[in-house]
Amino acid sequence: MSEETAQLIERLAAEARPVTRLRPPALRAASWLIIVAAIIVAAILMFANLAVFAQRARDPKLVYELLGTLLTGAASVLAAFHLSLPDRGRSWALLPLPPLALWIASSGYACYRHWIIFGPTGWELGESAHCLRFILGWSVPLALSLVVVLRRAAPLAPMGVAALGGLGVAAIAAFALQFFHPFDVTFVDLAVHLGAVCIVVLAIAATERLWRPRRASLP
């Protein structure tokens, strides 16, 4: 052992105070998701037009879309909590892929059907600007709260955690959007939804350096 390393160990030990162990990642993810779910339910009950939603919900494709967005959000958040710890495998990053495929497939099918029924109007710009604002507007506060809890783990590979967290909050926002979105999505809407998700993921990943806890230095 070099003299420098021996000194470093002494210094680290000298400043080693008791630490609070993190709770299991599944428990932490569940806690965050429950709080977010309570906020979304309250917002839906207060602001959404439930009569219109009930009419649209008769169509099973909406159920698949809802399921796809909700599961993508929950799976991404769970994966982000796991990957924020040093000893969890990278395969956690694959967890959101099946529900993401369900989300894209169900939305894509809805667009295709809309295009078959309505012809060229299937390509028109629906309420895309509203959707973009909605997803981005919901994602920002959700992302901030998620960052606060994820950075407690001081992730060693924060970029992947940030990207998964971004996908999670954007998917949850897209789920909530369905309750405030009284029409079928067009191809442009779908592109905007996915574009908004990409913006959120990229924004969180790009700003990862800002919220990453500072690397340890010699005490």
- At 83, list the tokens: 């990957």
- Of 122, 110, 112, 118, give the one whose Cα is nearest residue 63: 110
| Interaction of residue 154 with another protein, rule CB under 8 A | yes
Instruction: Tell me the C-alpha distance between 161 and 216, whole Å.
Output: 19
For the CB of residue 122, give the shortest distance to another protein in the complex, in Å: 47
Among 125, 156, 202, 206, the residue binding another protein under the rule CB under 8 A is 156
Instruction: Give the residue with the Cβ less far from another protein, 86 or 98.
Output: 86
CB atoms within 10 A of CB 28: 20
Instruction: Tell me the C-alpha distance between 197 and 132, whole Å.
Output: 9
Q: How far is CA 99 from CA 17, 91, 142, in A?
A: 42, 15, 20
| Interaction of residue 46 with another protein, rule CB under 8 A | no
- 164-193 footprint of another protein as x/- string (CB under 8 A): ------------------------------
| Interaction of residue 26 with another protein, rule CB under 8 A | no
Instruction: Tell me the C-alpha distance between 136 and 130, whole Å.
Output: 10
| Interaction of residue 213 with another protein, rule CB under 8 A | yes
Instruction: Give the residue with the Cβ less far from another protein, 15 or 47.
Output: 15
Instruction: Tell me the C-alpha distance between 75 and 170, whole Å.
Output: 12
| Interaction of residue 8 with another protein, rule CB under 8 A | yes
Considering only CA atoms, give the Rg of the chain: 21
- 107-146 footprint of another protein as x/- string (CB under 8 A): ----------------------------------------
Binding footprint of another protein on the chain (CB under 8 A): 1-2, 4-5, 8-10, 12-14, 16-22, 24, 85-87, 153-154, 156-157, 213, 215-218
